[in-house]
C-alpha cells in the first residue's frame, strides 16, 4: 500500500479500514479551527459525482465572486476511481478528483466550500477537513445529512440553527437554510471556526437550500459535463447559469 505524504491519500488501497481510520486520526490533528484568512475576494465550491458505473470520479469546481456570488469560471476533472465507498472513509475516495479540479483553477480562492462534512465526522476528518489539510486552504463542509452526532430540530425560520453534538463536544451546526427544507449540516473544514463557518453559509445563501458555491458546483456536475470544462466553458458561462 502506497501513501501520498502531502495529501494522505492512498495510491493503492489494500482494503485496510483500520489503517485508513488511524491515518484519519493523525491528519485530524492538523486541522485548525481558528479563523485566520483574509476577507475573501473569490470563493470556490466543489462537488463530486460518478460516471461509468462508478469507475470514473468526477469533481466539479466553480469559482465565484465573494461579493456578488456570480460565477467566474468552472471546471470538471475526471479521474479513475480507486476505492469503494465506505461510510467514514469518503475523503480517500473523492480527494484525488478534488485535487485535480483545484489544479485547473486560474487563481486560488481564499475560502472553499465542499459538499460533505468538515469536522462533523467520527474522527473529525470529513472530506472538507481532509481537503483543507491537504491543500492548506480555509474550508467549510456543507452536508445534506448527518454522519456523526445528533442535534435538536432547528427552528423553522431560515437562519435558525441547532448545535450538532458528538461525544460531548460541538462538531457542527444543523442550519435551516430555507423554509420547509431539511437543515444543512455545516462544520468547519480547516482554518475556520464553527461560528464563522455558519456565518459564511448564511452569507452565501440566495434563496435555495444550498449556498451558492455548492449549489453552482452541483449544477455543472449534474450536467454530466457535456457543456462545461476548462476556460472555454467559463467564458460561455451565460448559457450555463
Residue ranges at the known binding site for Mg(2+): 47, 115
210 binds DNA (CB under 7 A): no
Distances (CA, A) of 180 to 77, 201, 203, 204, 205: 34, 18, 19, 19, 15
74 binds DNA (CB under 7 A): no
Residue numbers 35-64 binding DNA by CB under 7 A? 47-50, 54
Whether residue 47 contacts residue 62, with contact meaning beta carbons closer than 8 Å, is answered with no
Q: Which of 87, 156, 168, 207 binds DNA (CB under 7 A)?
A: 87
Q: How many CB atoms lie within 10 A of CB 235?
A: 9
Q: Which of 7, 74, 117, 177 binds DNA (CB under 7 A)?
A: 117
- Binding-site residue total for DNA (CB under 7 A)? 26
5 binds DNA (CB under 7 A): no
Residue 24 or 196 with smaller CB distance to DNA: 24
135 binds DNA (CB under 7 A): no
| Shortest Å distance, C-beta 118 to DNA | 8
Distances (CA, A) of 218 to 17, 48, 61: 29, 8, 9
Residue 107 or 224 with smaller CB distance to DNA: 224
Residue 131 or 200 with smaller CB distance to DNA: 131
| Nearest-angstrom CA–CA distance, 197 and 202 | 9
Residue 18 or 235 with smaller CB distance to DNA: 18
78 binds DNA (CB under 7 A): no
112 binds DNA (CB under 7 A): no
Q: Which of 34, 145, 203, 206 binds DNA (CB under 7 A)?
A: 145
Residue 111 or 147 with smaller CB distance to DNA: 147
Residue numbers 173-192 binding DNA by CB under 7 A? 180
Q: Shortest CA distance to 60 belongs to which of 73, 47, 44?
A: 47
Residue with grid cell 431560515, as numbered in its chain: 158
Which residues are at the interface with DNA (CB under 7 A)?
47-50, 54, 85, 87-91, 115-117, 121, 126-127, 141, 143-147, 180, 221-222
Amino acid at each position: 500500500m502506497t501513501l501520498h505524504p502531502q495529501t494522505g491519500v492512498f495510491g493503492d488501497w489494500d482494503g485496510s479500514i483500520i489503517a485508513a481510520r488511524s491515518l484519519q486520526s493523525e491528519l485530524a490533528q492538523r486541522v485548525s479551527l481558528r479563523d485566520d484568512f483574509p476577507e475573501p475576494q473569490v470563493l470556490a465550491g466543489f462537488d463530486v459525482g460518478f460516471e461509468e458505473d462508478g469507475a470514473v470520479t468526477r469533481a466539479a469546481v466553480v469559482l465565484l465572486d465573494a461579493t456578488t456570488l456570480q460565477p467566474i469560471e468552472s471546471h470538471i476533472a475526471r479521474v479513475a476511481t480507486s476505492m469503494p465507498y465506505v461510510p467514514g472513509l469518503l475523503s480517500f475516495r473523492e480527494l484525488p478528483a478534488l485535487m485535480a479540479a483545484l489544479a485547473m483553477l486560474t487563481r486560488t480562492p481564499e475560502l472553499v466550500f465542499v459538499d460533505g462534512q468538515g469536522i462533523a465526522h467520527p474522527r473529525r476528518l470529513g472530506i472538507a477537513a481532509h481537503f483543507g489539510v491537504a491543500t492548506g486552504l480555509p474550508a467549510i463542509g456543507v452536508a445534506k445529512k448527518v454522519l456523526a452526532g445528533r442535534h435538536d430540530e432547528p427552528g423553522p425560520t431560515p437562519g435558525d440553527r441547532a448545535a450538532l453534538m458528538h461525544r460531548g463536544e460541538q462538531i457542527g451546526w444543523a442550519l435551516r437554510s430555507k423554509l420547509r427544507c431539511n437543515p444543512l449540516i455545516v462544520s468547519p473544514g480547516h482554518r475556520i471556526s464553527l461560528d464563522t463557518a455558519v456565518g459564511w453559509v448564511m452569507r452565501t445563501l440566495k434563496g435555495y437550500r444550498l449556498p451558492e458555491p455548492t449549489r453552482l458546483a452541483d449544477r455543472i456536475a449534474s450536467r454530466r459535463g457535456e457543456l462545461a470544462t476548462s476556460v472555454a466553458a467559463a467564458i460561455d458561462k451565460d448559457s450555463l447559469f
